[in-house]
Amino acid sequence: MALTAMASEGVVAIGASAGGIEALTELAAGLPPDLPFAVMVVIHMRVGAPSMLAKIMDRSGPLPAAAAIDGAVLEAGRIYVAVPNNHLLARDHRVVLSDGPWESGRRPAIDVLFRSVALDYGPRAIGVLMSGLLDDGVAGLRAIRAKGGITVAQEPTDALFPDLPRNALKAGVADYTVAAKDIGGLLTQLADRDIEEQVMDPDGRLELENQIAMGARFAISVDAEELGPPTAYTCPTCKSALMALGENTYRCLVGHAWTPEALLLARDCELEETVSAAIRILKEKAKLSRKLAEGSSPGADFERYAASADEAERAITVLGEGLLSRTARQ
């Protein structure tokens, strides 16, 4: 397919989550008007919720920003913002929008964008991870570095929610750490650096993950042997078996992917839902037992119904106290 516009030689891929609007606004204000790379932005967003991020970034700095359109050429000096319920990727210097499987319960996901630019741009990719919770994007920064690109994390003390940049630093995958307002100046230097062209070694696992993310939901038949060894875990989304892709990612046979932190949070949510359901059932049991006891004459039936109600109420107390204690620790 012939390009109808001049494709950028490099790309800046930016990921953020909670607190990301503020961080991205500061970043956009500091971008140079002559940035020679295209800019792609993913922020976690709710399914079905409208996103105003493109308009916010467009009026916050000198570079034009717009919602990403599938198939658009990635041009230098332009910002392409992810849209709700679609992964944002790069392929052959063009935008790809995909409704591929959720990753860490998200679509769009940061790791998806970072992996794709690592494969498409190699040493001409720059990954930036900003304010947010958990660890989506950490594995993606690792992929960018592995392909010769440069990685940047927002200074954790500068982020409203420091988990994302802090986890990147903890994993040792950030080459630079700066405040949001200073990232634009750093990008100017990095885009102007001498880039040594290199032949990238194929990475079957990375390419498989990229293929899964680009595919339509449920369209990819995932071979468990290609993914990695099985684990004792199940996917919170579809309950199929999870395979280990290295130490930092799990993926199921349907294609859903999970980082360790996101998987742990999903288990917490499942636990709370399960305990809440158990408390509801116990309350119904206690209420029904009391009603039956009230309608019974003194004797064996009355004692059995009363004991059943007492047992259910004790269990409610224990489960409720445990749930409150776990919530207080979070």
CA gap 291, 305 in Å, rounded: 9
For residue 148, give Cα distances in angstroms to 69, 120, 188, 198.
Answer: 27, 12, 18, 8
Is 87 noted as a catalytic residue in this protein?
no
Q: Give yes or no for a contact between 92 and 61, defined as CB atoms under 8 angstroms apart.
A: no
> Minimal CA–CA distance to 209: which of 152, 165, 250, 153?
250
- Which residue out of 8, 44, 116, 289 is catalytically annotated? 44
- Which residue out of 17, 116, 131, 289 is catalytically annotated? 17
Is 116 noted as a catalytic residue in this protein?
no
- Report helix angle 183-191 to 20-29, nearest 10: 60
Q: Which two tokens stand for residue 54?
A: 């493109």
Q: Which two tokens stand for residue 140?
A: 């993606």
Q: Give yes or no for a contact between 116 and 90, defined as CB atoms under 8 angstroms apart.
A: yes
β partners of residue 42: 15
CA gap 44, 17 in Å, rounded: 5
- Which residue out of 136, 158, 256, 289 is catalytically annotated? 136
Is 223 noted as a catalytic residue in this protein?
no
CA gap 69, 219 in Å, rounded: 22
Q: Could you list the active site residues?
A: 17, 44, 136
